[in-house]
Amino acid sequence: MTSGKNDLRPVSKTMIAAACVALAVGLMLAGCGSTKVYTADKSVQYRGTIYNVSEVKRLSSRLETVPASGEPFELTGSDRRQFDALVKEQGPVTVRSLIVLDDGEMLFEQKTLESGREFERMQSDLADVFKKISRFMADAQKTQLRL
């Protein structure tokens, strides 16, 4: 007659071996899912033009006036009061808002403005689109942004 103690020994070795194999397979599968690499090019689409922004190292925004005579000058640091004084002096002013991508520029908007309130709205719109582009650039999974 065999004792119950000897009958359990082969079963427990089989169970231990099966548990070790299951654990090893589980660890291998868990490791596969966490090693994703995203290498797709990033692009921004705006008004029918696609800008490749994959290699952009410097991203900024700029507001500038486009006077009828002379060179454009920057308005980025200006406030409503300063812009109202400019309009009072020169009349309606054409203003461009730009997204600067390294050495290139993306014209976001160009309007002729007559008041500081319109200028503030243009500043706000530029700040909003800049935030969208910044979030897009920081997200490794997203590859295209449509503005």
DSSP line for 83-125: HHHHHHHHSSEEEEEEEEETTEEEEEEEEEE-SHHHHHHHHHH
Whether residues 124 and 87 share a domain: the answer is yes
Quote the domain boundaries for residue 2: 1-36
SS3 category, 52: strand
pLDDT of residue 121: 95
Give me the number of domains the chain comprises. 2
Whether residues 30 and 67 share a domain: the answer is no
Whether residues 48 and 112 share a domain: the answer is yes
C-alpha 1: how far from its chain's center?
A: 76
Whether residues 139 and 79 share a domain: the answer is yes
Whether residues 26 and 49 share a domain: the answer is no
Instruction: Report, as ranges of residue numbers, the positions in the chain whose pLDDT lies below 70.
Output: 1-13, 15, 20, 23, 25-39
pLDDT of residue 6: 54
Whether residues 50 and 86 share a domain: the answer is yes
What's the rounded Cα separation, in Å, for the pair 28 and 114?
65
pLDDT of residue 38: 60
pLDDT of residue 116: 92
Whether residues 122 and 90 share a domain: the answer is yes
How many CA atoms lie within 13 Å of 127's alpha carbon, on the beta-carbon side? 8
How are beta strands 43-46 and 144-146 bridged, if at all?
parallel
pLDDT of residue 140: 84
pLDDT of residue 3: 55
Whether residues 51 and 25 share a domain: the answer is no
